[in-house]
Every structure is written in C-alpha cells, then in structure tokens.
Structure 1
Amino acid sequence: MTTAPHGTDRERLEDVTHVLHGPEGSGGWRNLLYVLYVVGLLTGIYGFTVLRGVVVVLDLPARGWGLGVTDRVGALVLVSLVVLVVALVVLAHLAGRRRGPITPALPWLDHVATAPVDRALVLRDAWLLPATGTVAGCTLVGTVLGAAVWGGGAAGPAAALVGLGAGAAGSLALVLAWLAGQLVADPVAAVRPVAAVRRTLRPGAALRALGIEGLRTHSARSSRLGGAALAGDPRAARLEAAAPVRRGRHLALRSRGPVRTLVSRTGLTGQDLLTGRGGVLLRGAGGGAALGAVAGGAARNVVPAALAALALHVGTGLLSEGLRLQGDTLGSPRLLGGSVTREALAHGVLPFLALLVVGLPAAVALALPASAAEGLVAALALVGVGVVVLAGQWLAAFRVRPPTLVFVAESGPALLVAWLLLPLVLSASAGAAVTRLVQVAPGAPVAGAWAAAVAAVPWLLARRSLRRAAGAHRD
C-alpha cells in the first residue's frame, strides 16, 4: 500500500519550482514586468509624441471634423474600432487552434504536468504570463492612442477614457478567444466554440480541461515558430502556422501538359475560409475597390493606393503556394521538364487571374460612376498593380541567403526586418506609382505605357531573384 506524498498541491509545486529554478523562481514575472516597463516608456515618450503630432498636423477641427462620440466622424471611428476588435477576436480564436496561449516547456509537461497535481496550478503561470502581457500591453496602447487624440485637440478627455476601456475590454476578449481556440483544438477537451467561450470565463476549469497531448502539440509548435523567427525564415513559420488542408483531398491531379498541370496544382493548394480562398475574395475585392476609388478621385491619394496594393499582395500570396514550393525545390530535377522560369510563370497564372476576376469588377464598379474614362483608368491601374504584386510574390518565394550585414549586432535586426519586408514595400510603392501614373497620364494608351514601364522594374528584380536562387541551389 502506497501513501500519498505529504503537503498540498501548492506546496508540492513550490518545491518543484525551487528545485528547478532555485529560491528566486523562474524569473518569468520579472521578465514580463521589465518588458512592460520598456513598452510603457517607448509608447509614452515616442508613441504619444508622434501620434499627437500627427493629430495636430491633420488639424481635424479646422476641417470641421471631430472625434467625439457625438460627432459623425467620431461615431464612425468608434464603430470601426468595434469592428476591428471583433475581427481581431475572431482571428485570435482561429490562431488559438494552431498555437494557443498555454505553451509551457516540454520537460515541464512531461515531468510535472503529468504528476497527480491540480492541472490548474501546474498551468497557472503559463496562462497568466501571456494573458497579463497581452491585456497590459493592449490597454497601454489604447490609452496612448486616446491620450494622443485628446492632446492633439481632436477630442476631449473622454477620448483617453475610451482608449483605456477599449484597450482593456478588447484585450481581455482577445485572450479569452485565444484560450477558447486552444480548448476547441484540444483532443481531450473536445468542446464546441460556444461551450469553449463559456468555459474560458472560468479559467481554472478551462486549464483542467486541457490534455497533455494537446499541450505538447502546442508547445512543440511554439518552439518551432520561435526557431523560425530567430532564423529569419518566414517560410518555416508560415508552414508551421498554416491550418492543414481538409477540403479537396479526394481530388486527383491529372497530367495536362507541363503548364496546365502546374496551373491545376496551384488551384489545389487553397486553405479554409479567412486563410485561403475566402481571404483571396475579401482582400482582392477590398483592394480592387480601394484602387477604383483612388483612380476615380484626386491624383494625390497615393497612400490609399499603397494600402490597396498591400491588400492585393496579401490576398494573392494565399494562392502563391506553388511559387513557394518551387522556391523550396529549385535544386531538384524538373519532373515535367522545361526551365525554372516557365514553371514560375505557370505557378503565377492562377494568382494573377484570381486577382483580375475578383479585383477588376470591384475597381471598375467604384470608378465607373464618375465617367467611362475613369473606369478604364481603374482597370489599367489594377492590371498594372497586379503585375507588380505578382513580381513581389516572386521576390518573396525565391529568396537567397540574407545579406551578411544582418548578422551585425547593432544594425542586424533592423536590416533583417527590412530584407523580409522588401516584397511588401515593393508592391506598395510600385502600386502607388502605377496608380499615380495612370491618373496623370493623358489618355489610356499613354497611361498603359507608363504603367507597363513602371511594372517592368519589379519584374527585372524578380527575374534576377529567381536566377540567383536557382544558382544558389546548384552550388
């Protein structure tokens, strides 16, 4: 007959923590407080100053705009913030199914969480640390935004209170939805989304419902995502974070020649709603509508054009898995024959056609009420931006090793981020340039020629990137 160990669960857990980390504990809370301290300093000094300066320069009261709750523009901004928070909560729930907030180290799960100790106590710090950091950080950012609007004279003191409340409530809903996503994906808990949300209102019960296998899966995925971030490998992070393809598994790929077979293969790489074909529809239609509105308006509105190009880049990227797979296998023999350039062009057919089918009607519909000429300008702008965006997908798929300067301690991280964001920056800047040129050029033929000239520059960079990547694989 065996006797149970002496002491309560809390005391036994404290003994384990003392053995593993010493009398000072793991240091997780100290690290979190230091991070929040640094974030508070940066947002309070630089963030508030810059945002207040932007509000002052805009001088909204002089334009007849007010951001108060009773003002028309203020009410629109408030509704937009609510919609943004709801969208972020939904995305947090979807992200929690792949990588939830509770990801303790694998040895802790194998040797401590499996012991006869209350699961809520074992996972308490693993839950409270990310939850506290998220709530405190988002509340701080929301408060600074509201205070900047108040300090810039665009609204009264209520703006700071609204920012505080929106940051606190939104971040709390965010972390609960994140935890609910992990509960839904856990094979032991196996609850529906609505039941998972209800269970997260009692975090102790939610922690006890999590099984070891699900926790190990999320913890291992978190480690791999961290390794991809440290290595600067967005491809590995994307493959790890992407949801598995569950639809169309019964479809068979038949040979239709080198080009049509690759086009068909690209059509089978879509993901689920919000991350695959649904995301293409949403971002493509939104980007096309934005470009149509800009093309039919004033020529100086290049910032919305850049944002529209970014939306089109992200939407097209969801259908560019074939390009990324080709970038991973450039060193292997071409099974269908032909050159790497022809294969890359074949993988780009479907993303470009999807961009035209989804974005072109939206762009023309927004610009056509002004005049038929504006509708033609919007169509030319979308085609030109689509060509640039596809070139950006080539740059993102056919990367070689980053420049050696990224390994310099002082400037390395900033250069690495700039190197990773180059395709996005190229799509945004070239998209704005194409839109501006087709607006100011006299007549459709001249506008089309200028747009083609601007789009040719990113394609030269894209072709150079493909050649370098293919040469690096051969070396």
Structure 2
Amino acid sequence: MATGDEERLDAVTIFAYRGRTPIQRIAYPLYVIALFAAVYGVSLSQGLAHAIAIDATRRELFQTWAPAATLLAVTILCPVAYAVGRKRGPVLPDLSFIDLLLPIGLDRDDLLRPWWRAALAAMATFGGIVGIVVGGGLAIRDLASPAAIAPIVLMGIGVGVLLTHIAVRAQARTNPAPSPWSELVRVADTLRALSQSTLRNQALLSRAANAAFLVGDLSHLARAVPSGRLRGRRLRLGAYGPLGTVVVADLLGWRRTPLATASGITVLLTGVPGTIWALRPEAWMALGPLLLMTSLGAGRLLTGLRFTAENAGSPTLLGISPRRMATGHLTVGLLPAATIGVASTVIVGPLSLATAAGVAGLMFLIAGLQLATSYRGGIRAERMSPTSGGQALAFHMAMPYAAPLAVGLLAGRIALAGGSPSGITLLALGLAVLAFGSWQLRERTRAFG
C-alpha cells in the first residue's frame, strides 16, 4: 500500500472508529466472556463432568468415547461455520467503511486484513477459553490429568482457527459471481474476492440482528434472513375449507423447503426414539438433551405456526379462531413425531403404560413449547432497563432451549428419587407446559379469540 493510501486509511479509521483498531474493539467483549467463564464456566463444566461420569462404569465409557464425540462435534461445527459465514462472515467492517473505502481502488487485502486478524484472534481466544473451561472441569473431576489441560486448550484454539477459515471462504462464496475454490486457498486471495455487495448486504443484516437483540424480538430478523431457494413454486394453494387450507398450506410449505423438512425429520428420527429409550430411570441424564433435540426437530416443521403467531392480534384471514388455526398447524407439524413415536414404542420398547404415557407426554410437551415460544411476543419495554435488560433478553432467548432441558431433568430426577415412572411424570409435565402455551395463545389473541 502506498504511503498516501496508508495516511488516508489511518485518517478514516481515526474519524470513524475514534482511533481504535478492530483488535481493540473486540478486547472488551473477550474480557467479559473470559470473566464469565472463570466465574461460572468451570463450575458448570465440572458439575456436568460429575453428572456424566458419576460411577466407574460411566467414567470408563466417557474416557472411551470422548475422543470420538469430540471429533463428531468438530465435524458438525464445520458445516455450521460454513452456513453462518454465508449469512454473516467474520470479515465485516462497518457500513460506512464499506461504502467509502472499498470503491476507491485500494487493495482489499490491505483494507480488510485488520478485520480478518481481529476475527481470527477472537475465535482463537474463544476456543482457548472453551478449552480451559472443559479441561479444567475434567481435571477437577479426575477425568483428565492437569497436564491434559494444555492440549485441550490448544485443540480449542485450533478448532477456532479452522472454523474462522471455513467461514471467511463461505463468505467469499456468496458473491454474485463466486470464485472457484482453487482461487480461495490463500487468505489474501479470499479477502480480495469479497465483493462490496456481499459485505454491504451482510452489514445491513448485522444491523438488523443488533436491533432485534436490543428490542428482544427476533421475528423480523427471521424474515430478513434468506431461507434458501424455494422449490415447487408452480404448486398453488387451493380452496379446502378454512381448517383444511391451514393443513394443506403447511404441507405445501414442507414441499417448498425440502432441506428444512428433511433436516427436521432427520433430527426427529434420532430424538424421538432416544427420548423413549431415556424414559428408563437409569438413563435419566439423557432425557433433557434428547427432549431438546426433539423440540428443535419439530420446530423445523412448525414454521406455519410461527408465521401465524407473528400476526397475532390481527383478524385471521381464513375466518377461523386463532385457537383452531394453531390446532391445525400443530396437527400437521406433530404428525411425523407422533408416527415416529408410535413406531419407536414398538421397536425400542418396552411396551407399557409408562412408555405410552411418555409418548403422549412428549407430544403435549412439544405442542406446549411451540405455542409458548411462538406466542410469547417480544420483551415488555419496562423490562428493557439498563440494569436488568440484558438478563431479561438472555432469559427470553434461552427459554426455547432451556425449557426442554429443565423438563427432562426434572422428570428424570423424580423417577430416580422413587416417584412415578419417567413416562407418567413426562405426561404430567407435558400437560402443564401445554396449558401454559395455550394460556399464552389466549393472551396474545384475546381480541379475536
């Protein structure tokens, strides 16, 4: 870069960012993450390690399968990083920088290199923090020696660097005319391949994400993020009566988004049989994660319910009550899960009243969770105060993921303590969650009930 270009770049940086480099701008968030990891992370890690390997048999199983599970987790994270990079890549200056400096003909490797270094440093540091938390928890519970903490930290740093490289190349592949993979081997070539339109679109999406987080409502962000190419666009929705139209519209939505439909059913094929297997008292620790997996899989098939909930408070177009419309969406969305549950009861077993109650409770639980999360709305303005707004937002966003875990752990603990079997307990908890979700639906649609 010529001396004059360096001076102009420094001048714009000082003007736009008050002289703070990208590394300096990420230092404080990393400090906060490290502080929370030191205060809460290691304690949570050692608690989970103790729960997973509570006796000698489970300790041996953990030590046997931990490397394979780690490799599987990294394998799953790689395509996730690629998908995230296509929506919001790691190299993303502010919108003013993109509009003012990228068109003037300077080498984009020189322009974007500070943001690349900041992203790489952030992900490497975050991976190292995760390694310290995991390694520290395992060492405290004697599942790993203290000497193993350093390799775990280095592995975390390596995974962070790997995911950053994958994400930036995915970001470069979102250009209107994407470069071939052979031209994206070197980081400098990848940064030069980033187009202004790609960076600008992702910067606008990042602004929308920040606004959605600040107001505590992510529904408009979900509409802003492209959902991929729609298929079956020649198919048209016919007239089948009010409730029938709701059902057929959901089926048509499945046909137009085959990837989302296939991913949801695939997750259900693992989550539902696993949940039925985990209804045994000896497998109670797995019940919460498997319930979460089942809830996430069903959520991929219930987009129609969420779209209906976003319009809650306005008259329905089909002339039926919001409750009947939600019932139609839930009937279609839960049909695959119910079918898999009945088949799993026969295959996995054992055939008993508790197992049948567990399958019914699982359906009620999923229905209640989807109603509660879809019709919860945004956070009330009085809760978004400077002192408690962050906590309210964190709880609001974590509720769809924390609720299945909490219900599963509670049902398992009741069964382990000598109470009713897990299936019957899950049925009671599922009915309670369904009642709560139905109450939220009534509250959001009271004027048109």
Give me the TM-score of the superposition, normalised by structure 1. 0.83
**Matching residue of 2:204:** 220
Q: Which amino acid aligns with 2:42?
A: F
Q: Which amino acid aligns with 2:438?
A: R
Counterpart selection for 2:102 from 113, 123, 128 = 113
| In structure 2, C-alpha distance between the alignment counterparts of 1:319 and 1:57, rounded to whole Å | 33
Deviation at residue 155 of structure 1 after TM alignment: 2.1
Asked whether the equivalents of residues 103 and 222 of structure 1 are also in contact (C-alpha less than 8 Å), the reply is: no
Structure 1: segments with no counterpart, 5+ residues:
none
| In structure 2, C-alpha distance between the alignment counterparts of 1:84 and 1:361, rounded to whole Å | 28
Asked whether the equivalents of residues 313 and 444 of structure 2 are also in contact (C-alpha less than 8 Å), the reply is: no
**Matching residue of 2:388:** 411
Counterpart selection for 2:37 from 38, 43, 46 = 43
Counterpart selection for 2:275 from 291, 306, 322 = 291
The CA deviation string for residues 237-270 of structure 1, in whole angstroms up to 9 with x for no partner, is 3333452342222221111111121111112334
Asked whether the equivalents of residues 320 and 351 of structure 1 are also in contact (C-alpha less than 8 Å), the reply is: yes
**Matching residue of 2:439:** 464
The CA deviation string for residues 44-97 of structure 1, in whole angstroms up to 9 with x for no partner, is 45433443465467776x61565xxxx764241011111101111111101111
**Matching residue of 2:358:** 381
Asked whether the equivalents of residues 292 and 378 of structure 1 are also in contact (C-alpha less than 8 Å), the reply is: yes
Deviation at residue 387 of structure 1 after TM alignment: 1.4
| In structure 2, C-alpha distance between the alignment counterparts of 1:343 and 1:435, rounded to whole Å | 34
| In structure 2, C-alpha distance between the alignment counterparts of 1:149 and 1:348, rounded to whole Å | 42
Asked whether the equivalents of residues 291 and 363 of structure 1 are also in contact (C-alpha less than 8 Å), the reply is: no
**Matching residue of 1:103:** 92
**Matching residue of 1:191:** 179
Identity %: 23
Asked whether the equivalents of residues 400 and 472 of structure 1 are also in contact (C-alpha less than 8 Å), the reply is: no
The CA deviation string for residues 160-189 of structure 1, in whole angstroms up to 9 with x for no partner, is 13312320221111111111211221114x
The CA deviation string for residues 104-136 of structure 1, in whole angstroms up to 9 with x for no partner, is 222211111111211111112222222211111
Report the secondary structure of 2:394's partner residue: helix
| In structure 1, C-alpha distance between the alignment counterparts of 2:267 and 2:204, rounded to whole Å | 32
| In structure 1, C-alpha distance between the alignment counterparts of 2:163 and 2:258, rounded to whole Å | 20
The CA deviation string for residues 371-399 of structure 1, in whole angstroms up to 9 with x for no partner, is 443xx643431221111111111111112
Counterpart selection for 1:14 from 10, 19, 23 = 10
- The answer as to 2:286 corresponding to 1:304 is yes
**Distance 1:73-1:50 versus aligned 2 partners, 3 A rule:** closer
- The answer as to 2:197 corresponding to 1:232 is no
Asked whether the equivalents of residues 147 and 159 of structure 1 are also in contact (C-alpha less than 8 Å), the reply is: no
| In structure 2, C-alpha distance between the alignment counterparts of 1:320 and 1:29, rounded to whole Å | 41
Counterpart selection for 2:158 from 166, 169, 174 = 169
Deviation at residue 20 of structure 1 after TM alignment: 3.8
RMSD between aligned residues = 3.2
| In structure 1, C-alpha distance between the alignment counterparts of 2:285 and 2:358, rounded to whole Å | 15
| In structure 1, C-alpha distance between the alignment counterparts of 2:135 and 2:70, rounded to whole Å | 12
Question: Max radius of gyration: which structure?
Answer: 1
Deviation at residue 191 of structure 1 after TM alignment: 3.3
Aligned residue runs from structure 1 range 254-403, under 5 A = 254-270=238-254, 276-295=260-279, 297-298=280-281, 301-362=283-344, 364-366=346-348, 368=349, 371-373=350-352, 377-403=354-380
**Distance 1:210-1:426 versus aligned 2 partners, 3 A rule:** closer
Report the secondary structure of 2:233's partner residue: coil
Report the secondary structure of 1:185's partner residue: coil
| In structure 2, C-alpha distance between the alignment counterparts of 1:144 and 1:434, rounded to whole Å | 28
- The answer as to 2:113 corresponding to 1:124 is yes
| In structure 2, C-alpha distance between the alignment counterparts of 1:306 and 1:185, rounded to whole Å | 37
Report the secondary structure of 2:387's partner residue: coil
Asked whether the equivalents of residues 213 and 393 of structure 2 are also in contact (C-alpha less than 8 Å), the reply is: no
| In structure 2, C-alpha distance between the alignment counterparts of 1:59 and 1:310, rounded to whole Å | 21
**Distance 1:12-1:419 versus aligned 2 partners, 3 A rule:** closer
| In structure 1, C-alpha distance between the alignment counterparts of 2:217 and 2:230, rounded to whole Å | 25
- The answer as to 2:79 corresponding to 1:85 is no
Report the secondary structure of 2:253's partner residue: coil
**Matching residue of 1:142:** 131
Deviation at residue 272 of structure 1 after TM alignment: 5.3
**Distance 1:8-1:205 versus aligned 2 partners, 3 A rule:** farther
Asked whether the equivalents of residues 392 and 458 of structure 1 are also in contact (C-alpha less than 8 Å), the reply is: yes
Higher relative contact order (CA 8 A, sep 6+): 2
Deviation at residue 472 of structure 1 after TM alignment: 6.9
Q: Which amino acid aligns with 1:462?
A: G
**Matching residue of 2:27:** 33
**Distance 1:406-1:301 versus aligned 2 partners, 3 A rule:** farther
| In structure 1, C-alpha distance between the alignment counterparts of 2:404 and 2:132, rounded to whole Å | 33
Give me the TM-score of the superposition, normalised by structure 2. 0.88
Question: How many residue pairs are counted as aligned between the two chains?
Answer: 447
- The answer as to 2:56 corresponding to 1:63 is yes
| In structure 1, C-alpha distance between the alignment counterparts of 2:222 and 2:361, rounded to whole Å | 28
Asked whether the equivalents of residues 287 and 359 of structure 1 are also in contact (C-alpha less than 8 Å), the reply is: no
Q: Which amino acid aligns with 1:279?
A: S
**Distance 1:64-1:451 versus aligned 2 partners, 3 A rule:** closer
Asked whether the equivalents of residues 219 and 310 of structure 2 are also in contact (C-alpha less than 8 Å), the reply is: no
Q: Which amino acid aligns with 1:33?
A: A
**Distance 1:314-1:186 versus aligned 2 partners, 3 A rule:** same
Aligned residue runs from structure 1 range 412-427, under 5 A = 412-427=389-404
113-122 vs 325-334, greater mean Cα deviation:
325-334
| In structure 1, C-alpha distance between the alignment counterparts of 2:312 and 2:52, rounded to whole Å | 50
Deviation at residue 431 of structure 1 after TM alignment: 5.1
Deviation at residue 335 of structure 1 after TM alignment: 2.6
